[in-house]
Chain A
Amino acid sequence: MTVQPLLSVRHLTTEFQLAGKQIARALEDVSFDVMPGKTIGLVGESGCGKTTTLMSIMRLLPASGRITSGNVYFNGIDLLTLSEHEMRAHRWKEMSIIFQGAMNALNPVMKIGDQIREAILLHNLMPRNAAEQRVGELLELVGIPRLRRDLYPHQYSGGMRQRAMIAMALACSPDLLFADEPTTALDVMIQAQVLELLKEIQKKLGLAIVLVTHDLGVVAEMCDDVVVMYGGKVAEYGSAELVYNQPQHPYTQRLLEAFPDLSRSIDSSTDLATIPGTPPRLNALPPGCRFSPRCHKSMEICTQIAPDLIAQNTAGNAQHLAACHLLNKLEIKNS
């Protein structure tokens, strides 16, 4: 029997209305699956649509954003067809999110424990003392002593605040947790602690995690699958082992080369590889492949036609797809 994905994103396209009737297409044709209990990583540079993907799935886009096509199936239900009222029954109870910048996502004038209790009571009908009991359990789950519930956010350190955010996200025992750059502002040691905590909680609760980050190292440590995004599209998608060890898209290859890796070399005399240029502006996307202006392997066809995602031959049932014309050519040659 095959396991059904918990979350299936299909051909998701999201647009933003800019000033002066301009339209920025922030996401185009984004598809991926999240299996229950697994971790998937969304990676890419700033502005490639990682956060927009999360916000589209959770239907928390700002007023200027609109999902123009696609489906988001959660346990078989298309979330995009639900009314706002129905959506609320799913949000936080079944899927919740740790927002970017835990430092600023907490209410500074409310005790940590009260904030967590608020999240519980908003979604569940239960007596106050039962909710209070749950607050204590959640704090212990994330490694904060119960006694600290009455402190305010400014009395917590960065790592503790991030733990409190995780506790709040787990308030209604969701099946799916979105984590938007959960460790970006933290020190490496605290980062390791938070990642370890997420792994532990995942094991304990059987949670599926969607991890958004620009740090390739964090994804390699945490994720079963990886989606590499560029300019609002999926550039490469597959199991972490395949994407890291046999990257097919030139963007993924370059991104991996640019990442300082102590396991590869220690040499201060050579320069790190870089990707020339900057990511495209979403209201002025280049024709053809969006990466072509920065790609060192760009061909004529790349500036004219956008490549589709092509499945790679893999052993077993591991998935690996990449959107690059170079792969197409090889396929023609092989056949």
Chain B
Amino acid sequence: MSAKPVLEVRNLFKHFPMRQSMLDMLRRRQAEVVCAVDGVSFSLEKGEVLALVGESGCGKTTIVRTLIGLEEATSGEILFKGQEVESQNQNEKNKISLKQLRQRVQIVFQDPYESLDPRATIFDIVSEPLVVHGMAANRDELHARVKMSLEEAGLRPAEDYLLRYPHELSGGQRQRVVIAAAMVLEPELLLADEPVSMLDVSIRAEILNLLNALRRSRGISILFITHDLGTVGHFANHLAVMYLGRIVEIGPTAEVLKNPQHPYTRALLSVVPVPNPKLRRKMIILSGETPNPINLPNGCRFHPRCPLAMDECKLNDQHLVDVGNKHQAACLLAQ
């Protein structure tokens, strides 16, 4: 029997109802709905990295928040190692409680300047998860585990950092502290929400290498959220491109990058700046921005911005189809 995937998401929907005016309520008007995540499925195996790529507003962050139970899914299933996660703390049988889930799934946010408590020392920050989950028997063990986690995150020697405050550290060091605090619970899945987009080029490479090293040594799985396809090639095994709450293309990274099928993926790829002035290419620049997920266009969601749109695209809402090599794309032109 093959091992169950660490994370499996089946047909996930997350809709946010808009606030209604009193008048509309009295008129019994149906509330408008923001379809942030609209039928997303994927799975993540042990030790693998799946990158979710898309512009702001495509639903990447909502997926992360739903996975960790900060938002409740409208419908769909989230299976963690084959087990369902309970919706509220109701002690349902055969389901993982939220507290257990948050021990085994940890999250790294985008902004290392804002995700650390400015008045807590590094020791406080990294030890807090252990205290919350009661995972250290005594103070010595607490110290030992915090130190180990910091050193693993590349903050050596750990003693130098324990009593310092976040403002004394550089951006890269702060992001290492965030990673140390996430790794101290020895999670099986790490959700990394744009972990490097605020960082300088050289530090960006260091953080990606660090995550890669943790993946190899600990065998953790990583869901890597980014808007930058440039960083994906060196890091993720699998790639899913999102547009307006849907996955429009998914497959092994090298396969998708070398042979992109969806026009949106092609456009995203073409605007990744290449560090070589001789290779300036024609960029496919899409006009406008990701449309509002309230008034979704009929047919393919991408057709109003698609350079290759045909009449059929206005009617047909194409779902993911296989194009070979475990590669799927949601486009009528895909083959």
Contacts and interface: CB of A to CB of B under 8 A. Distances in A.
Given A215-B201, A260-B231, A273-B205, A187 B279 contact: no
Given A262-B230, A268-B237, A216 B201 contact: yes
Contact of B253 (A45, A158, A254, A268): A268
Nearest to B49: A268
A267 B208 CA distance: 13
Contacts of B253: 266, 268
A38 to B, nearest CB: 13
B233 A267 contact: yes
A144 B172 CA distance: 37
B271 interface: yes
A187 B56 contact: yes
Interface string A250-270: 000011101111110111101
Interface in A254-306: 254-256, 258-263, 265-268, 270-275, 278
Interface stretch (A51-59, A107-115, A191-199, A314-322): A191-199
Contact of A214 (B201, B235, B269): B201
A221 B170 contact: no
B254 interface: yes
B325 to A, nearest CB: 14
B205 A260 contact: yes
B134 interface: no
A274 B210 CA distance: 11
Contacts of A263: 274, 276, 279
Contacts of B279: 220, 263
A271 B231 contact: no
B228 A241 contact: no
A118 to B, nearest CB: 27
Residue of B170, B171, B257 contacting most chain A CB atoms (<10 Å) = B170
B233 A217 contact: no
Contacts of B170: 278
B90 interface: no
B112 to A, nearest CB: 13
B283 interface: yes
B227 interface: yes
Interface residues of B, number: 49
B267 A189 contact: yes
Given A220-B277, A241-B278, A274-B209, A192 B235 contact: no
B156 interface: no
B323 interface: no
B233 A262 contact: yes
A260 B230 contact: yes
A208 interface: no
Residue of A240, A266, A268, A271 contacting most chain B CB atoms (<10 Å) = A268
B275 A261 contact: yes
B311 interface: no
Contacts of A221: 273-274, 277, 280
Contact of B276 (A191, A215, A245, A273): A245
Contact of A256 (B228, B275, B278): B275
B200 interface: yes
B285 interface: yes
Contacts of A124: none
Interface in B213-239: 213, 227-231, 233-237
Contacts of A218: 273
Interface residues of A, number: 46
Nearest to A262: B233
A190 B283 CA distance: 12
Contacts of A244: 275-278
A159 interface: yes
Contacts of B171: 46
Nearest to B173: A278
A240 B277 contact: yes
Nearest to A271: B209
B201 A157 contact: no
A122 interface: no
Interface in B253-282: 253-254, 257-258, 267-269, 271-280
A279 to B, nearest CB: 9
Contacts of B334: none
B206 interface: yes
B236 to A, nearest CB: 6
Given A217-B274, A220-B274, A244-B275, A266 B209 contact: no
Interface in A169-196: 187-193, 196
B55 interface: yes
Contact of A189 (B204, B237, B285): B285
B175 interface: no
Nearest to B271: A192
B249 to A, nearest CB: 15
Contacts of A245: 276-278
B274 A258 contact: no
Interface in B283-325: 283, 285-287, 289
A196 B277 contact: no
Interface string A193-233: 10010000000000000000011111111010000000000
Nearest to A272: B205
B202 A270 contact: no
Interface of A: 45-46, 157-159, 187-193, 196, 214-221, 223, 240-241, 244-245, 254-256, 258-263, 265-268, 270-275, 278
Interface of B: 49, 55-56, 170-172, 200-206, 208-209, 212-213, 227-231, 233-237, 253-254, 257-258, 267-269, 271-280, 283, 285-287, 289
10 contacts: A157-B289, A158-B56, A189-B289, A192-B283, A193-B285, A217-B230, A220-B274, A261-B230, A263-B279, A266-B234
The 3 lowest CB-CB distance pairs between A and B, nearest first, are: A217-B273, A192-B271, A272-B205
Given A189-B267, A260-B231, 19 more contacts: A46-B200, A158-B56, A187-B55, A187-B227, A188-B230, A188-B271, A191-B271, A192-B283, A220-B274, A223-B277, A241-B278, A244-B276, A245-B277, A255-B201, A260-B233, A263-B279, A266-B257, A267-B233, A270-B234
